[in-house]
Structure 1
Amino acid sequence: MALSPLNARRWRNFKSNRRAFWSLWIFAVLFGLSLFAEVIANDKPLLVSYRGELHMPFLRFYPETAFGGDFQTEAAYRDPEVKCLIISGGSQACWDDPEGVIEQVQATGTVDGEKVEKGWILWPLIPFSYNTINDLETAAPSAPDSTHWLGTDDTARDVLARVIFGFRLSVAFALIVTVTTSIIGVAAGAVQGYFGGLVDLTFQRLIELWGATPNLYIIIIVAAIIPMNFWLLVALSTIFGWTALVGVVRAEFLRARNFEYVRAAKALGVRDRVIMFRHVLPNAMVATLTMLPFIVTGAIGSLAALDFLGFGLPSSSPSLGELTMQAKQNLQAPWLAFTAFFTFAIMLSLLVFIFEGVRDAFDPRKTFA
């Protein structure tokens, strides 16, 4: 699909901003990888070959009985007996000496002289999920090593796995909140600025009252009454965050509604809705895009702050704010603080650079060489 001349010029301007362009690529790669977090970091295998059949435990539930075990509960794939059952094709000798049977099968393909159909397990790059409680030889939190590349937190969960899932959660939360608040805020600001008069006056008084509401305290009160979850937090953030764009959009519409092309469109009988969103809104996009970096980073910061205070998502969620809180409580484990700091610094810097480039690309006064 070919771009229009205007959008092609904007894309050229964006690419000319090298910092924004490379930030977009880096962020796209990082976020794209985080979308497949279950494939990268999981305590369940990606593929299991058992008696010639392939299974995908990270997508489906398999009871232990599916691999020759005794229980109907989900197979504990990290358990030595379950590993032995898979590799040996369900040999009952696994219950007595799982490590010995595994070595025997891998060396000779037999168990006690009887040939078995050898199976195998394909693990993710990081064989831990964000909520996996690991058996450590030292006290938690443990320092980074060859098994846990960024160490573990104070509940023996792998920090790198939590960062991958937490990055995805934070960015998804920020983007959803930004889109919803922008739609509501742009629509409200457009109506205020275009119609003016009593409509503008009424909206302004309501926004002043709404803006004076202590939203953080209300979210904390709601969290104390109702168990908080992702979508409830998105809804609350949208309810209190939609006013961020109203002011700039309103000002642009107040300025543009008396322009000659707007008066000409009205004289020709063009509907107000068409004039507002097809003709006036594009001229207000630069001011609108200027505010987007603050909304995105503010949403990430709000989520982290609520999780840090313990009023955000449940503690079992892969939260970067909860990781920051653990860094504060475990000063003897500096890898937690360094991980939280660099994760936030990289994520927020990339987003700000990207939106700066988008803002400049939409600005008709700026043309890059």
Structure 2
Amino acid sequence: MTSGQSYWQIVWKQFRKNPFSVGSLWVLAVLFLIAIFAPVLACNIPFYYHDERGTAWPWFRALFNPEETVDYWFNLAMVAFFPWLIGVVIHALRYRRRYPEKLLPVGKYAAVYALAILGLGGIFMIPGVRPDNRYRARTFPEEEFARQGTARAVYPLIPFGPTEQDMDSPVKPPFYRKPRFTTNPNTGEQVLFWRKSNDGFPHILGTDDVGRDVLVRMIYGLRISLTVGFVAVGIYMVIGIVLGAIAGYYGGFVDILISRIIEVIMLFPAFFLILTLVGLLGQSIYIIMVVIGLTGWPTVARLIRGEVLKQRNLDYVAAARATGATNLRVLFWHVLPNSLSPAMVAAPFGIAGAIITEAGLSLLGFGVRLPAPSWGLLLRQGSENYHYWWLVVFPSLAMFITVTAFNLVGNGLRDAMDPRLRI
């Protein structure tokens, strides 16, 4: 019974039949929320701080002035999230009352969210609009500890920063809590071991070689992994879709030229090309994203080309031409929207592959540059001494869950878009 249903309603109905894919979709939703709200979950900058000098709200100012560009855009996503969510709920309720049989326009909601983030980014790029971080040089946990009794602060759930070091607590195991006092080896006396107000909080997943909290670095490392995956795949999806559509629709010399370019690009191994560029230009997350994007599009182009070749001979294309539509309008308005299924199936697998590539490069020392948090960098530290098992197990488990979730979603989309499986 599929009469009266749109294509995406049929796809969603088929997708929901796969419980593993649906569960993976929820896992990815949770991971995205963790990445977006990372500063609320873990940060060593207090929401509110008060001492004899007055009251400060440093967290809100630091939100718009993070050390990493990736964090800036994720922070804007956090700022835009709740207004966007309220708007989505209101629109969805009205849409359900008006069109009870139709699917919610999820794609439009996502596009509005992306435009809101870009709009906020543009607004805060205007000189004088973005609030300056006047508290950048202050270390509030140390100040609060030094002014016990006169200072009050409210911190996020985990009061550690992703780059905050504690040389007194290197490579400590999970649930390590720094003791308040320690014994002086020379005199045998008990001396105060705490230096900051957050020293008494446990390191749930332990610390790395310079005392940085592993859980916090994994939370912020998730931002880098998702950014590399989505930006790199976004680049090669756009290139592959456009070139594949042009090759399939026009055929002839255009098809031959683009096909030869595809074959040439496929000769370049992305991993070794990244290693070469890193050696020439230095470590950079942007090199990883751009190279994966510029070398990964041939597969998508081939898939789109084959689908467009099939679509261009159907009756609706001839009808569109008969109405006087130009070739570009027929291609991008009629043919291409009906040819995107292979690309949408390939996207989740591509994101998973990009995440693994970034982690592998960081493991080898050619990826993200310290002190930026990265799952691959944690693995690199753990691989140097396997006694520090928590530096290997937890990042590996995080990568396994994330990559598996993307792969299962890709499998679910592939099965849902296969006409042979529709009943």
**TM-score between both structures, scaled by the size of structure 1:** 0.79
Kept in 1: contact 2:234–2:293 (CA 8 A): no
Q: Secondary structure at the match of 1:354?
A: helix
- Unmatched tracts of structure 1, length 5 or more: 62-71, 86-101, 106-117
Candidates 303, 306, 317, aligned match of 1:251? 306
Deviation at 1:82, TM superposition (A): 4.2
Return closer, same or farther for 1:324/1:84 CA change in 2, 3 Å cut-off: closer
Q: Given the alignment of the two structures, is residue 176 of structure 1 paired with residue 176 of structure 2, yes or no?
A: no
Deviation at 1:52, TM superposition (A): 9.6
* Larger mean Cα displacement after TM superposition, 150-159 or 210-219: 210-219
Q: Given the alignment of the two structures, is residue 332 of structure 1 paired with residue 387 of structure 2, yes or no?
A: yes
Residue aligning to 1:234: 289
Residue aligning to 1:209: 264
* Larger mean Cα displacement after TM superposition, 284-293 or 338-347: 284-293
Residue aligning to 2:171: 141
Q: Matched residues in 1 for 2:299 and 2:55: separation?
A: 52
Q: Given the alignment of the two structures, is residue 351 of structure 1 paired with residue 406 of structure 2, yes or no?
A: yes
Q: Secondary structure at the match of 1:48?
A: strand
Q: Which amino acid aligns with 1:295?
A: G
Q: Encode CA deviations 1:268-306: one digit per residue, 9 max, x unaligned.
A: 432222322333224423322232232111111111121
**TM-score between both structures, scaled by the size of structure 2:** 0.70
Candidates 109, 119, 123, aligned match of 2:155? 123
Q: Matched residues in 1 for 2:10 and 2:328: separation?
A: 27
Residue aligning to 2:114: none
Q: Secondary structure at the match of 2:141?
A: coil
Q: Matched residues in 1 for 2:375 and 2:136: separation?
A: 32
Q: Matched residues in 2 for 1:366 and 1:74: separation?
A: 60
Q: Which amino acid aligns with 2:354?
A: A
Kept in 2: contact 1:286–1:363 (CA 8 A): no
Residue aligning to 2:58: 57
Candidates 131, 138, 142, aligned match of 1:75? 138
CA RMSD of aligned residues (A): 2.5
| Off by >6 Å, runs of 4+ in structure 1 | none
Q: Highest Rg: 1 or 2?
A: 1
Q: Given the alignment of the two structures, is residue 273 of structure 1 paired with residue 328 of structure 2, yes or no?
A: yes
Return closer, same or farther for 1:55/1:365 CA change in 2, 3 Å cut-off: farther
Residue aligning to 1:48: 49
Kept in 2: contact 1:75–1:82 (CA 8 A): no
Matched positions, count: 323
Q: Encode CA deviations 1:318-351: one digit per residue, 9 max, x unaligned.
A: 1111112122112111111111221011111111
Kept in 1: contact 2:144–2:152 (CA 8 A): no
Deviation at 1:261, TM superposition (A): 3.0
Residue aligning to 2:361: 306
Q: Matched residues in 2 for 1:84 and 1:130: separation?
A: 22
Return closer, same or farther for 1:191/1:358 CA change in 2, 3 Å cut-off: same
Q: Encode CA deviations 1:47-85: one digit per residue, 9 max, x unaligned.
A: 213359542222337xxxxxxxxxx98222222x54343
Q: Which amino acid aligns with 1:203?
A: I
Return closer, same or farther for 1:7/1:205 CA change in 2, 3 Å cut-off: closer
Q: Matched residues in 2 for 1:34 and 1:54: separation?
A: 29
